[in-house]
A and B are shown apart, each in its own frame.
Chain A
Amino acid sequence: SAVISQKPSRDICQRGTSLTIQCQVDSQVTMMFWYRQQPGQSLTLIATANQGSEATYESGFVIDKFPISRPNLTFSTLTVSNMSPEDSSIYLCSVAAGSNQPQHFGDGTRLSIL
């Protein structure tokens, strides 16, 4: 399966600031996704990162708060904007070779906001 690198692995940020998380895959993939995992909770899909076009956001998530880029088939970024303590979570990138293929996950970014 693809090797997925996520950076940074963790960070502690001040409220009101923004952080950009990177997801790099070692092979071209059709689909890339961003998830949030709040402390002790399951995973919630934030958006599907579309190559060359705007991401598709799930209910409750908006582009102004979570802008996403996907310039090519191996790379995507998620920005968490104007952070507040409620944004403290693990953010995970996943990839799939196709819509009927299993998703594989990066190790996640552990974000704490003070």
Chain B
Amino acid sequence: GEDVEQSLFLSVREGDSSVINCTYTDSSSTYLYWYKQEPGAGLQLLTYIFSNMDMKQDQRLTVLLNKKDKHLSLRIADTQTGDSAIYFCAEVTSGTYKYIFGTGTRLKVLA
């Protein structure tokens, strides 16, 4: 089956960088996404990367994709308390439109 794994928790100090990791199993994934879920809210699309890319940078966010290892990461530079949330990665496999979501990583930013 398709499993997308993430670490459950990450704690960082304000101003440090955060790195959230995601491991997926379907090598035919076309797009990979990062979403943020704050308490009481839905999912906010942060960024995404196409499978033929290795890296994508968007302001404080950097996405790295290692297709060989089926590993995706999200780096948040200069992490702020407002970044505290749950972060989900999601993959879409070739020929489908269905997302497979990761287990979610709860990021806590300490002041």
**A42 is an interface residue with CB less than 8 A from chain B:** yes
The minimal Cβ–Cβ distance linking A22 to chain B, given in whole angstroms, is: 14
**Pairs A–B under 8 Å by Cβ, sample size 16:** A1-B45, A43-B99, A45-B99, A48-B97, A92-B43, A96-B97, A100-B30, A100-B31, A102-B31, A102-B48, A103-B99, A105-B35, A105-B43, A105-B44, A106-B42, A107-B40
Given contacts A31-B97, A99-B97, A102-B33, contact A42 B41 (CB under 8 A): no
Count chain B residues whose beta carbon lies closer than 8 angstroms to a beta carbon of A.
Answer: 19
Question: Would you call the interface of chain B mostly helix, strand, loop, or mixed?
Answer: strand
Number of interface residues of A (CB under 8 A): 22
Q: Which residues of B contact A94 (CB under 8 A)?
A: 43
Q: Assess whether A42 is in contact with B101, with CB atoms less than 8 Å apart.
A: yes
On chain A, the residues within 8 Å of B88 by CB distance are 42-43
Q: Is B68 interfacial (CB-CB < 8 Å)? A: no
| A43 near B41: Cβ-Cβ < 8 Å | no
The 7 A-B residue pairs with the shortest CB-CB distance in the complex, in nearest-first order:
A105-B42, A99-B97, A105-B43, A107-B42, A43-B101, A42-B101, A108-B42
Asked whether A45 lies within 8 Å of B42 as measured between CB atoms, the reply is no
How does the 8 Å CB contact mask read for B41-64 relative to A, with 1 for contact and 0 for none?
A: 111110010000000000000000
Q: Which residue of B lies closest to A9 (CB)?
A: B40
CA distance A104 to B35 in the complex (A): 10
Interface bits B69-111 vs A (CB < 8 Å: 1, else 0): 0000000000000000000100000000111011110000000
Whether B97 lies near A42 (C-beta < 8 A) is no
